[in-house]
Amino acid sequence: MNNDNMDQQRKISDAVVRRLPKYYRQLCVLQAQGVIRISSKKLGDRLEVKASQIRQDLNSFGGFGQQGYGYPVGELKDHIAQILSIDSKWKMIIVGAGNIGRALSKYTEFSEEGFEIVALFDNNEQVVGETIGLVQVHHTDGLESYVAENKVDILALAVPSQAVDHLMQMAENTGIGAVWNFTPSDVFSDSVVVENIHLTDSLMALSFRLGEKNKA
């Protein structure tokens, strides 16, 4: 990728980045249905997003589609995959084999999109050695040496809050690229890309609309 493209990509706002996966998923569905081209209007109707929003978002990383002809489904899907870097193969480890760790480990969708879960770690002797999804649970005693010896792009944290600081420090020291944080504590880092997951946030958005509906 040349510098011009990099500069262009940097300018894509977080809001656009959050919508791209939705477009991508819908384009996958359309492609599976054999649809070749789709208009921003029809794509918007399927996603409950305004057509003008879709056109604006897709314009932000270079023009796509021709006025009146719609977007080429396969090409646009591949282009979004490239923008999102999901055409790369990322290696992910999960720390914590409780309910969330187990649920993540069994999600087959991740590997389909290029996120390969390569190992699971827990400090509970009773689950060490167990196979969950496609991977075995290792003892956390071996975590640092695993990270030193293997490529790890993403560290998923499914541990209690008190374990977070230590694991974040390890991620920063060992050069793990990203942390996907399922603990209730928000983490921030200058050197590691962090995505804090708060299920309560989506429940609050749902509560907002439920409140609106009940008042109507």
Footprint of its own copies (CB under 8 A) = 1, 6, 9-10, 14-15, 17-18, 20-22, 24-25, 48, 83-86, 88, 90, 98-100, 102-104, 106-107, 109-110, 113-115, 153-154, 177-178, 180, 184, 186, 188, 193, 195, 197-216
What is the nearest approach in angstroms of its own copies to the Cβ of residue 68? Answer: 28
| Residue 67 vs 99, nearer CB to its own copies | 99
What is the nearest approach in angstroms of its own copies to the Cβ of residue 195? Answer: 4
CB-neighbour burial class of residue 101 (10 A; exposed 0-12, middle 13-18, buried 19+)? buried
What is the nearest approach in angstroms of its own copies to the Cβ of residue 187? Answer: 12
| Residue 106 vs 166, nearer CB to its own copies | 106
| Residue 41 vs 66, nearer CB to its own copies | 41
CA separation for the pair 80, 161 (Å, rounded): 34
Tokens standing for residue 93:
């480890």
Tokens standing for residue 163:
């374990």
| Residue 141 vs 165, nearer CB to its own copies | 165
| Residue 35 vs 86, nearer CB to its own copies | 86
What is the nearest approach in angstroms of its own copies to the Cβ of residue 37? Answer: 22
Angle between helices 40-47 and 14-32 (to 10 degrees): 100
Alpha helix ranges (H) inside the chain? 3-10, 14-32, 40-47, 51-59, 73-83, 99-106, 108-112, 143-149, 164-174, 199-215
For residue 129, give the amino acid letter.
G
What is the three-class DSSP state of 202? helix
What is the nearest approach in angstroms of its own copies to the Cβ of residue 215? Answer: 6
